[in-house]
Amino acid sequence: MDFYKVLEEAIISSDIEQKERLTLQCLAYCSQNEIRVVSDFSPVVFQAPSYASVCTIVDPRELPARKAFETAEGLATLVHAIAHIEFSAIDLALDAVYRYPDMPMDYKKDWLEVASDEIRHFKMLQYILEALGYDYGSFPVHSGLFDAAQHTAHSVLDRMAVIPRYYEASGLDVSPQILKKLENKRSNPQVQALIDALHVIYEEEIDHVYKGDRWFKYCCEREGKPVSVWFEVLQKYDLTAKQRPHINVAARKEAGFACEEILRLGAKECE
């Protein structure tokens, strides 16, 4: 099996069933074989995200305003936005394996497992979308996570700092707020299904951020840099100015963040 060719096919595919089949194939192979990289292997620089063939990509400022969750369309826009994050996260996890072949086998297994989780998350949300009368691609999306992956392609340390430790960790801050807004609408079966899905996603995303934290610290040690370089990396990519009204201290601590970091992000207390 040409491991990196199969990974590349998984990344560029817009078909979730094909992504799942190829991802599980890579994970099974990775669990039974030592991956050897030929000396002339050069990862492809992807010119567009895999979902470009099914979604209309717009500037984030051009996304339509979110409608009230009481309507099927309003709820569908929320489900679609979360599904898009999960679909993007599949490709990011696969790309983390594909783009940095010199990383250890445990790293490859971790991110293939993450990709498998993200596929399952997406399929849960896709099911809810279909029950509401919509599908992935029914609403416009932005390519922010794809762009972030492009910007960090040159450095696995930067990738681990920005994608799991910044973007995914930010999701841990936001998820409880979304769940709170949905709570009094759970009599709607689709809302209840979304709440159930979000609980699963939230718990598993803590583990994903933990894996990102683990490999970020591995890269720091390998490159002789302190963990505090994380804030320098965020500054390099203009990610320090965003206000954080809710810091999920407990989830971030469980995912590997130190209280010093959490307080510096704006939390009022951390013990």
Residue 46 lies in a domain: no
How many residues comprise the chain? Answer: 271
Task: Decide if 40 is inside a domain.
Answer: no
**Nearest residue to 144 via CA among 212, 232, 238, 26:** 238
Domain for residue 214, yes or no? yes
**Residue 61 CA to its chain's centroid (Å):** 21
pLDDT tens per residue across span 19-51 = 999 999 999 998 887 777 666 788 999 999 999
pLDDT at 138: 96
Q: What's the predicted TM-score (pTM) here? A: 0.95
The number of helices, as runs of H, and strands, as runs of E, in the chain is 11, 0
How many angstroms separate the CA atoms of 27 and 118, rounded? 14
Is 47 domain-assigned?
Answer: no
Below-70 pLDDT ranges, the chain: 37-39, 241-243
Q: What is the pLDDT of residue 70?
A: 80
Q: What is the CATH number of the domain that holds 231?
A: 1.20.1260
49 falls within a domain: no
Rounded Cα gap, residues 116 and 139, in angstroms: 24
The number of folded domains in the chain is 1
**Domain span at 110:** 3-35+55-265
Q: Provide the pLDDT for residue 21.
A: 98
The answer to whether residue 158 is domain-embedded is yes
Is 45 domain-assigned? no
Residue 174 lies in a domain: yes
